[in-house]
Structure formats: structure tokens, C-alpha cells
Chains A and B, each alone.
Chain A
Amino acid sequence: MSERETQSLEEIGAGALLAEVDALKLDHWRLVQILCISSPGGNELDYSFGGGYAMRTLRLRTGPKDPVPSITHIYPAAFLYENEIRDLFGVRIERIDPDWEGKVYDVAATKPFSKVSVAATSSERPGEAR
């Protein structure tokens, strides 16, 4: 009656990201989500893919200002996740298609507005009200 769900998580380097994602696309995996976890030491990007009821997650660790290649030319639906991650966390994702240049979240607040980036901005501008 129920399907078996399997989950796996593997860490990869920035240089291997596109090749891994391309291989998953060729194997008919669909993009489930991209997740960002930011910390003062850098960012973690989790790319989750679904094949049937299985889920594979690729984890990419980057420095705070390291560029990350976009996967939109492989998975077009990634554009929303990547634009959002840039708006919220300030991750430098290169060659997003379409690139909305920070306008996914069209809000008055200074972006990115994750707790790490807000704290960093405040420390750069002492005395400014948060």
C-alpha cells in the first residue's frame, strides 16, 4: 500500500555541483527544493531532488562571499529558489535565468535580511537603528 521512502545526503564541492545536477536531470530526478542555511562562517546550500518517493540532497558549503553557479540552465524551476536565496541570504549566485536582480522580495527592508546579513550590516554601520 505504501511506497518506501529513501533519503540520502552527500556533500559536494562547488566545482562538482553542475556535473552532479546534470547527471540527476538525465536520470529524470525532479527538483524538490533548494535550501540555504547561513552562518557567520559561510553558507550551506542543500539541493534536494526527488525520484519517485526517494529524495537525494546535495550539500554545498561555501564561504560568505564565494560565488555559486546557477542551475537554472539545467532545472528552469530553480530560478525562484535561487532568486529568493539571494534576496534573503545574500548568496552570490551567478547566471540565474531569469535574474530578477533582487526584486523577488520587493520590500522596504534592506536586503538581504537573514539574521547573519542583518547583523553584519549593523556592525558595519554602528549607531544605525535596526
Chain B
Amino acid sequence: MSEHKLPSIGPTVIPFGPQHPVLPEPLHFDLVLEDEKVLDAVPQVGYIHRGLELLVDKRDYLDYVHVAERICGICSFMHGMGYCEAVESILGLAVPDRARWLRTFWCELERAHSHLLWLGLAADAFGFENLFMAAWRARELVIDVAEETAGGRVIFGSALVGGVSRDVGADTLARCAAALRPARDETLRLAEVMISEPTVRHRLEGVGKLGRDRAYELGAVGPMLRASGVDYDVRRRGYAAYGEIDFETVVEEGGDCMARALVRLGEIEQSFRIIEKVVGGIPEGPVSVPVKGMPPKGEAFVRLEQPRGEVLYFVRSNGTRNLERFRVRTPTFANIPAMVEAMRGADLADVPTIILTIDPCISCTER
């Protein structure tokens, strides 16, 4: 029998997204393939570009917080808070201590529910339906606490220039801390299931590897960077109440999809610990200071640690009620070059897993 060899057809370009079963949001890649191997990935953004940055010069600088919170439905409070911190920096405003601690409380609620959302989506992507449902059931407990304390399940509406827009009583905080304990226990159990399951390990270990130096060079941030062994977490700069609360930075060395999963699983637990510490140590006092008049001319850069990593806000005031420029460099935008690098050399079947362990937020990116 003669041996037949198919002629090489050269690289093939496969469009991936913006609508794809594995993508919760519209991200688009042109994947350049040689057989099943990814040679290159060309990302494209703009599918749902909203021009929210431009709106800043048409809205009152105090009202714009509501727009900033709507950049993303997952880290909405942090976007509002980042904007507030930048404006407060121009105003030279010191936020009351209780407001700083409440900000930390809501930031960690968002981190926990964001990572649990990711866990469910990742489990769904590699066909682990029970894990997907259990993760989202635990997330529901976190969202319930957000609703009870902030009033909103998606958009918290609590960020305010000069503090936070509502106080949370000691009884409510204690009740919420108790309500979150089952979510924490369930997360630990799910993490154990996920880590010990051979089929999950097979899908994640050694896939989408990104070395420490390369991750740093490509400007990766958040769990993407920490999973490659770089100990960098912007919460260490001590904004809100992070300077007064002891917590661990979760760092892994593997640089692969498994390491990124482990970092997020560890961070969920850390978030619950931080919330317990906030509830136990929050000081009494006012939650906001009045802000009146025009902001002075000036500009400020502020960096925060969102669930997906470092986010940067820039605001410039021209002395009127409408700011001149607002800029958000989102963590997903910073992670795109590293995501492209992680995909190079991977199998086509692993692309959804790689994308999901980077946990892109297109809503943020298309601000």
C-alpha cells in the first residue's frame, strides 16, 4: 500500500469571536494556524466601543461617578472608586476612615464574586457542569451580601467623591460576614475538587505557559503576572484600608493555565479573610465629607488592583465642572499582548481555556 501524504496548505486564518460559545463577551481574534497549532493571534477591539471616556467633558464631575461605575458590571464599584480617588487627589481631599474601610469591603466583595464568576465560566468551558453550577451558587451568596449592603447586585452605586454614598450598620456587617462563611467554605471545597480532578489538570497544566521575564516584559498584570511568579499587587500601596489590613499576595510559579487558576482560587479565600477583618476592625465615624464648588486645575494618576489586575485612572481638570480628560487603562487591555503570547504554539482546542484563564473583561476594555 502506497503512503499518502496530504499536501501542506500553509497557514489558515480562523476567526475566533466576537460571538463564540466560550466567550461571555465579544472579543475577536484572528487565529493563524498551521494544522492545529496556533502560529499567531491578532486581536481586534472596538466591537462594543462606547466612548465613555469622552463623556467626562459633558457631565458634571460629581455626577460622572455614575458613568464610571457603568464601565463594567463586574468591577463597577472599583471603577467608580478609582475615578473618585483620582478626583479626590486633585481636590486634596481626605476621605473619612470609615469610608476607606467600606470601600475595601466592597472592593473585596467584587473580587470574590468576579473570581467565582470566572471559576464558573472556566468550568463550563472545559465541560465541568457541576463545578460551574456550584461556583455560581457560591457567587450568589456574595451577590446577596452586595445587595444587602450596597443596594445593587451589579452596579453597587456606593462610590462617591469624598467617601461612600451609604453607611452599613454594625449588625448588617456582622450578618453579612456570617452569610459569607458558607461561600468561603464552599469555595475551599470547590478549589479542592478542581485541583484534584485529573481531567481538569489535564486541560490546564502546561497549557498557555508564560515565563516570569516574558510576562513582566509584556506588561501583564494581576493574576496573569502573579501566576508567572511576579509578586506585584497594587493593594500593597495601601490605598483604601489595605495599608491597615494584613493579607497575603497569592503568587504561583507555573505560568500556565493551572497557575492562573490557583492564583484566583487563593485570592477568593484572601478576599473573604479581608472582609472578615474589615467587619472586625471598621472604625466608627462619618462616611463622607461634603464636596462643593469647582475642582481646581490639576491632574492625577491613580492605580488600583481590580480582580483582573492593575488598573490605571487619569483625570485632568481645567477648573470647570466638566473634567477635560478621563482615561482608564484596564487590566484586560494590558494583558492582551501576554494573552497573544500565551496562545502562540498552543493547540486550537486549548485556545478557549487560555482565554478564560486570563479572564478578559471586554466591557472594561471597550470603555
Contact = CB atoms under 8 A, between A and B. Distances in A.
Nearest to A38: B325
Interface stretch (B147-155, B271-279, B330-338): B330-338
Contacts of A93: none
B337 A77 contact: yes
A88 B219 CA distance: 22
A34 to B, nearest CB: 9
A122 interface: no
Contact of A105 (B49, B238, B244): B49
A33 B329 contact: yes
B314 interface: yes
Interface in B40-80: 42-47, 49, 54, 57
B20 interface: no
A95 interface: no
Given A3-B237, A37-B325, A53-B236, A77 B217 contact: yes
Contacts of A114: 54
A80 interface: yes
A35 to B, nearest CB: 5
A10 to B, nearest CB: 14
B312 interface: yes
A103 B232 CA distance: 33
B28 to A, nearest CB: 8
Nearest to A37: B325
A75 B219 contact: yes
Nearest to B236: A3
B329 A76 contact: no
Nearest to B338: A77
Contacts of A75: 217, 219
Q: Which of B47, B57, B303 has the most CB of A within 10 A?
A: B303
A48 B333 CA distance: 15
B88 to A, nearest CB: 15
A76 B216 contact: no
A32 B312 contact: yes
Nearest to A3: B236
Contact of B46 (A33, A48, A77, A105): A105
Given A31-B219, A35-B329, 5 more contacts: A37-B325, A48-B312, A80-B333, A106-B47, A115-B54
16 contacts: A3-B236, A4-B237, A30-B219, A32-B219, A32-B334, A33-B329, A35-B327, A35-B329, A48-B301, A77-B217, A77-B338, A79-B337, A80-B337, A98-B42, A105-B45, A115-B57
